[in-house]
Amino acid sequence: MRKAFQDELAQVGDELVEISKLVATAIQNATQAFETADVDLAQDVIAADARIDFLQNALDEKAIDILALQGPVASDLRMIVSSLRMSASLERMGDLARHIAQLTRLRYPAQVIPASLQDTFRSFAELDIQIANKVAELLETHDLNVARQIVRLNLEVDELHAGVFKAVAADDWSGNASTSVDVALASRYFERFADHGVSVARKVSYLVNGEWQPEEIGGA
């Protein structure tokens, strides 16, 4: 009976990894579509989000069944509760990748971002892709060095996000109202994607340490 329980816990962990890899693919494709105004690729990202939603719902149902039927305690209980919260963060990351793709589709055949900010958003994309890949690695390994890397990458994303809003608010900003809204929304999507990656990192740290001390993740 205990082996069956441990197998169920392992399956939950495997499903988290599977979702995280789909999220990494989603953000990579979404940012490529965003940069190149590839509406077909954007549509693929939008359609693929349903798979992430389905897997998240299935994982949550499995975790709730384990809570109800197995009565886990201590570290096993932490694993189940943390998995429920991590799956929600991963699902939201998938949604944010979809939002980026939807902006691409909305503005096609034009690009969403004006030339003056394209380098900034290219950096956003690179950082978010790194974060997504490291989230998948973290869920497989539970290596807190990877968690710290995610936090550091998120700080770079935050700096870019602040810089975008300064640019839009500057006296020499030439974008019209529609462009300004698109830029602000896109920046927010990239920033929130990274934030949810940090949320997963903090929950894995909680699993490893048994203590909720998010400030330690960001240490050197």
CA distance 19 to 50: 11
pLDDT of residue 77: 81
CA distance 120 to 114: 11
Q: What is the pLDDT of residues 168-218, one digit of tens each?
A: 999 999 999 999 999 999 999 999 999 999 999 999 998 888 766 554 454
pLDDT of residue 216: 47
Q: What is the pLDDT of residues 15-35, one digit of tens each?
A: 999 999 999 999 999 999 999
Q: What is the pLDDT of residues 117-157, one digit of tens each?
A: 999 999 999 999 999 999 999 999 999 999 999 999 999 99
Domains and CATH numbers, the chain: 1-217 (1.20.58.220)
CA distance 13 to 178: 42
